Chain A
Amino acid sequence: MKQAKAFEILSAYAQSQNALVVSDIGSQSLWLKAAGDRDENLYLSGPMGMASSVALGVAMANKDRLVIAACGDGALGMNMTSLATISHAKPSNLIVVVLDNGIYEFTNSLPVPALGVDWSKISETYTGFESTVDLGEIEQLDTKNGPHFVHAPIEGGELPPGPGVHPVDVHHRFKKLLSAHNVKNSTKQQC
């Protein structure tokens, strides 16, 4: 599967779930934007590997929203300890997706060290994850009882279209969206 197609599936799923999406620098952020720019998308432009950690923070701060971390296999390989942290924190509203093409797409397609990781067995090792599924099964996940891990094998060799969104604009539009959401929920509770 091409990465563009994987993000079409992921973006459509996120919209159907009203989910917040945190994406890693480079391919993940740019392909996510190409699949459909939303205020719910928190595009990262540095450093590599932080999407899973930022998404954990977003998930803990927004327990009434599904949160998806879209990670590259090279990026997540740089922050494998985040899987231990997530496994321990067990945020029920978090899905971690790894887009696995085996290469650093932006770095002349050099192979990633994460080639030595079996992404299909994450929940067997990081036992706080409730399940590991392939991207094609994402709609079957019980989104109230995560965290879940999704493995998306993809083809390499195609750079995404640019440009991205300025980091400060990403921050402020994301915060504005959530502030409006929280005010709406607070008003509902008062009524």
Chain B
Amino acid sequence: MVEKILDALNAHNINMATGVPDGWIVPIINGLSNDDRFDYIAAAREEECFGIAAGIAMSGKRVLVVMQNSGFLNSVGAYTTLCQKYQTPFVCLIAHRGGINDANGYDPNKYRSFEAITRGMNLFVHETTWETIATDIPKAMARSEGAGEPSFVTLTDRPAS
């Protein structure tokens, strides 16, 4: 499954990525980190990811950002005054935690806040699945470049074991 995602990214010249780990997206981060076709920049904090991605995008390269929904909540200021203001295109893959697929009521407030804030900001958010992610990220990148703004793609479940 991860190989299919990486092949799709490579086929669409998305060869740079940055992120902060979430448990659900560890397979993707490991894949990006261990594959010579990609430069993965491990950031210490999610806000940095938006800076790194903006620098890559303004250099004319394609970049994927990966983080948990709470990471976006940490970074709203940087997102608005950098990525929106400079109209930087990239795709942000979000592990959208706290929904019905998280056991034991894990962090429902992250889920609720991400939903409320992205709707309130009128951001483009597309819910994907592990089965469709390989085609959804390239489509989201094309949409992002056309619109001159980042596109968000969310996963609401862990990868199948």
Contact = CB atoms under 8 A, between A and B. Distances in A.
B72 to A, nearest CB: 15
B59 A62 contact: yes
Interface in B37-79: 39, 41-45, 47-48, 50-61, 63, 77-78
Contact of A89 (B41, B50, B88): B41
Nearest to B62: A61
A120 interface: no
A47 B78 contact: yes
B43 A85 contact: yes
Nearest to A169: B86
A165 to B, nearest CB: 11
Interface residues of B, number: 31
Most buried by A among B42, B43, B59, B63: B59
A52 to B, nearest CB: 8
A163 B95 CA distance: 41
A45 B78 CA distance: 11
Interface string A49-60: 010111111111
Interface stretch (A30-38, A99-107, A145-153, A174-182): A174-182
A191 interface: no
Contacts of A56: 41, 48, 51-52, 55
A116 B7 CA distance: 47
A74 to B, nearest CB: 16
A127 to B, nearest CB: 15
A136 interface: no
Contacts of A42: 55, 58
A73 B133 CA distance: 41
A168 B42 contact: no
B48 to A, nearest CB: 4
B81 interface: yes
B44 A82 contact: yes
A50 B81 CA distance: 10
A53 B81 contact: no
A151 to B, nearest CB: 22
A12 B109 CA distance: 51
Most buried by B among A22, A46, A47, A182: A47
A111 B152 CA distance: 38
B60 A182 contact: yes
Contacts of A50: 47, 50-51, 54, 78, 82
5 contacts: A42-B55, A57-B54, A57-B55, A58-B59, A85-B45
What are the nearest 6 A-B pairs in CB distance?
A57-B55, A53-B51, A46-B81, A61-B59, A81-B44, A57-B52
Given A54-B54, A178-B59, 6 more contacts: A60-B55, A61-B55, A82-B51, A85-B44, A170-B86, A175-B60
